Homo-oligomer: A and B are copies of this chain.
Amino acid sequence: METKIKIPGITCKTDADSVLKHREKLPEIVDKILSNCNEKTCYNHIAYEPIPSKESVIKIIELLKEIIFPGYFSREKLDPVNLKYSMGQTVSIIFDMLSEQICRSIRHDCFRYGRECRNCDEEGNESAVKVLESIPDIQNILASDVEAAYEGDPAAKSCDEIIFSYPGLFAVWVYRIAHKLFELNVPFLPRIMTEHAHSITGIDIHPGAEIGRRFVIDHGTGVVIGETTNIGNNVRIYQGVTLGALSLPKDAGEQLRNKKRHPTIEDDVIIYSGATILGGDTVIGTRSVIGGNVWITRSIPPDTKVLMEMPKLIYR
């Protein structure tokens, strides 16, 4: 049953039986995928309990943005009249969504790995309240981040521009929320949040890192900040900076879990683009400046400028 569709200047063969002929193979394919799901070699998550939803976590981030920077990202404009209603309603929605996702994360962890009951419902509600209670403090520390970003960046036209559009600020505020959840021992959610920010910004901050006030990441693509990094106040880093672990044996996963593996950066340090600082014993002393592309695996005393001796350039 072959026909010809006429298209100006072109003839295209088409076969009405083709779809049917191929669709008939689908049930067998479905059965094979299903039977493969029972193999050890397939990760699946077929169970009665609901699991954390990445989509909901992203929605929570969107809503948090509205209450952390009131008026900047709301769909309706906020004025002194509707502010309270809008804030109250948004906080209430965040509570419902966040407590559910925390509960699901704990329950999933508990069922999956046979851990002891943490009373997930109660803990979900409690932790959601704690996150919301921390918002004013987080707003204050973020205000210090915005100020520091403006002071150091000649391309910034205003603090508002930073809030509207700077990826560094986005990655940092999402990290600050995720870190709170990490401290509350919530599984999955913190990393889903920071990986969402990583996806948007190219900045990969592990929720376990400890980071002080007035923290600035400029440009940011390619930045990696590992789980056990400590960063003091007033630190500025540029694109492509890695604060990472020393090289690992292949089975490092089990050996080094929960050990300090990433560096400590003291107050007032600047780290230029592409620098790599590795190791849990490495401390960059206060007010030091680390030059671009420098590779450091040992501690640097305070008030030191570290530059790479320029590799000779070859001109032809």
Interface 1/0s, chain A 218-250, versus B by CB < 8 A?
010110101100000000100110101101101
Contact of A129 among B25, B48, B113, B304 (CB under 8 A): B25
Interface 1/0s, chain A 134-156, versus B by CB < 8 A?
01100110111010001111111
Indicate if the CB atoms of B273 and A274 lie closer than 8 Å. no
Min C-beta distance of A81 to chain B, whole Å: 9
How many angstroms from the CA of A181 to the CA of B200 in the assembled complex? Answer: 24
How many angstroms from the CA of A72 to the CA of B111 in the assembled complex? Answer: 15
B residues less than 8 Å from A23 (CB atoms): 92, 95, 125
Work out how many copies of this chain go into the complex: 3
Interface residues of A in 147-174 (CB under 8 A from B): 150-161, 163-167
How many angstroms from the CA of A128 to the CA of B29 in the assembled complex? Answer: 12
B residues less than 8 Å from A84 (CB atoms): 30, 34
B residues less than 8 Å from A242 (CB atoms): 239, 273-274
Interface residues of A in 8-55 (CB under 8 A from B): 8, 10-15, 18-19, 21-23, 25-27, 29-30, 32-34, 36-37, 39-55
B residues less than 8 Å from A39 (CB atoms): 140
Q: Is A133 an interface residue (CB 8 A)?
A: yes
Contact of A49 among B7, B15, B255 (CB under 8 A): B7
B residues less than 8 Å from A117 (CB atoms): 11-13
Indicate if the CB atoms of A306 and B295 lie closer than 8 Å. no
Min C-beta distance of A127 to chain B, whole Å: 10
B residues less than 8 Å from A261 (CB atoms): 154
Interface of chain A, helix or strand or loop or mixed? mixed
How many angstroms from the CA of A273 to the CA of B5 in the assembled complex? Answer: 48
Indicate if the CB atoms of B204 and A222 lie closer than 8 Å. no
Q: Is A286 an interface residue (CB 8 A)?
A: no
Contact of A45 among B72, B91, B133, B156 (CB under 8 A): B72
Indicate if the CB atoms of A252 and B22 lie closer than 8 Å. no
Interface 1/0s, chain A 252-295, versus B by CB < 8 A?
11111111010000000010111010100000000001011111
Q: Given A33-B91, A46-B71, A166–B195 Cβ distance below 8 Å?
A: yes
How many angstroms from the CA of A75 to the CA of B50 in the assembled complex? Answer: 10
Interface residues of A in 176-235 (CB under 8 A from B): 187-188, 191-192, 195, 198-202, 204, 206, 208, 219, 221-222, 224, 226-227
Return 29 A-B CB contacts under 8 Å, by A number: A8-B48, A10-B111, A12-B107, A12-B110, A13-B117, A15-B121, A22-B125, A23-B92, A29-B129, A30-B88, A33-B91, A33-B135, A37-B70, A40-B143, A42-B136, A42-B139, A43-B72, A43-B143, A45-B71, A46-B83, A48-B79, A54-B164, A152-B252, A154-B258, A157-B187, A273-B276, A305-B316, A306-B313, A308-B313
